[in-house]
Amino acid sequence: MTIQEAQQQVDQWIQLYGVRYFSELTNMTLLMEEVGELARIIARKYGDQSFKESDLSKDLPDEMADVLWVLLCLANQTGVNLEEALEKNIEKKTTRDATRHLNNSKLK
């Protein structure tokens, strides 16, 4: 599925099951909450912290999908085509950072 198709699928779900979008401010707060849940799993799995009993039921792909879901909601609400935005962002980074990382001794 393309990013545009994902935006459309989320919008259809909201219309069928979600009644309406939460406000942009609420969704921004929910995005931070979901990023925090993702960070917790990453910290446990790849960092130095050990898993707590309550963490064991958490699933990394599902937590990433939760972050994406809320981001897609925000894009829909604010009229952002994320597919176009990502293409422009990649182009910007490619132009700006064409040699930056290649010349970074910390990355070698």
* pLDDT single digits (tens) 56-108: 888 999 999 999 999 999 999 999 999 999 999 999 999 999 999 999 999 98
24, part of any domain: yes
More confidently predicted of 62 and 53? 62
Tell me if 12 is assigned to some domain: yes
Closest CA to 21 of 74, 83, 98, 89: 74
Would you say residue 96 lies in a domain?
Answer: no
Residue 93 lies in a domain: no
Which CATH number belongs to the domain containing residue 56 in this structure? 1.10.287.1080
CA 50-41-57 angle, 5° bins: 85
Residue 104 lies in a domain: no
What is the pTM (predicted TM-score) of this model? 0.91
Q: Could you give the 3-state DSSP secondary structure of residue 79? A: coil
Segment 8-25, tens digit of pLDDT:
999 999 999 999 999 999
Question: Which pLDDT value is given to residue 22?
Answer: 98
The alpha carbon of residue 10 and the mean position of all alpha carbons in its chain are separated, in whole angstroms, by: 14
Q: Does a structural domain hold residue 90?
A: no
Q: 52: pLDDT confidence band, cut at 50, 70 and 90? A: confident
pLDDT of 55 above 90? no
The tally of domains found in the chain comes to 1
Q: Domain residues for 69?
A: 3-80
Q: Determine the pLDDT at residue 53.
A: 85
